[in-house]
Amino acid sequence: MAQGESELVQVGEATIELVRRGRGRPLLLLPGEEMLETESGFAAALAERHEVIALSPPGFGRSDRPDWLTEPRDLAYFCRAVLKELGLGPLPVIGCSLGGWIAAEMAVMDDRIFSHLVLIDPYGVKLGAPTERDLVDIWQLAPQKVAALKWHDAAKGQRDLAALSDEALAAEARNLESFARFCWEPYLHNPKLKHLLFRIAAPTLFVWGANDGIAPPAYGEKYCALVPGARFAAIAAAGHYPHLEQPAAVLGRVSEFIG
């Protein structure tokens, strides 16, 4: 699988990394907190029809993390600035997990930047009562337990960390640190976001792993119901990363939706 071309874009006081691959109509890809999507087979398949622009939010990949950033909404401002700097939009976006949350924040800020919005198992809203837990607390569980909840087929989530370079391991650790920094409190949501989702004007598709043990499909269906006209698609035999476990099924849904 050919790797994409990496570049750095200066926006405000931060340098933001993006990776381009393929040709055709531009498509923004906002990876999840583990940054598994950028060099995935899923991204490669998208690149057969689009110029895929995988953007690393501040604190992830090689993007800077200014000290004043405290929440995913802050990251969304920088991602919007990158699109403006590159002269992109309206364009389709695929946001995965944390990237889906960021995409939703961007969409409520400006309803003109996305032509289509695809959210794959996103976090971002609190739907239950104050004493009810919508999402599994991943920071209180052993890594093996978290992996078992994230993946329908645990073997697909296995990674040989011992084979990674020191630089790659440092990047992994930084991604996890940034995820905790931005999403610890309040836990995996912005209390205001659910009240603003009515502002999303772009056609929206929620794609959800039917076996997601972190963010269950019932959470996704309720999230979807808050976005005007949004559709919901459950992917069988898939956990929190359906696009990585069942890429053909997800690509079919996405291609049909965005054209």
Task: Kindly state the tokens that stand for 92.
Answer: 């389709």
**Which listed CATH number (2.40.50.140, 3.30.70.20, 3.30.310.10, 3.40.50.1820) goes with 5-258?**
3.40.50.1820
Q: What is the pLDDT of residue 3?
A: 66
Separation between Cα atoms, residue 237 and residue 249, nearest integer Å: 10
d(CA 60, CA 173): 10
What per-residue confidence (pLDDT) applies to 160? 81
CA distance 206 to 177: 27
- What's CA 182's distance to the chain center, in Å? 14
Count the neighbouring beta carbons within 10 Å of the beta carbon of residue 76.
23
Sorted by where each begins, the domain ranges of the chain are 5-258
Pairwise CA distance, residues 54 & 40, whole Å? 11
Task: Spell out, as residue ranges, where the chain has pLDDT lower than 50.
Answer: 1
Q: Are 103 and 95 in contact (CB under 8 A)?
A: yes
Would you say the C-alpha torsion 93, 3, 82, 62 has a positive or negative sign?
positive
| Residues 117/93, Cβ–Cβ less than 8 Å | yes
Residue 1's pLDDT is 40
Mean pLDDT of the chain: 95
Which tens digits make up the pLDDT trace of 137-177? 999 999 899 999 999 998 888 888 788 888 989 999 999 99
Q: What angle do CA 164, 169, 175 make, to 5 degrees?
A: 135
With residue 254 as reference, give the H or E element that holds it: helix 247-258
pLDDT of residue 157: 83
H or E stretch including 187?
Answer: none
pLDDT at position 130 is 87
d(CA 110, CA 92): 14
- Do the Cβ atoms of 30 and 101 come closer than 8 Å? no
| Cα separation, 80 vs 103, whole angstroms | 9
Give the pLDDT confidence score for residue 2 in this predicted structure.
52
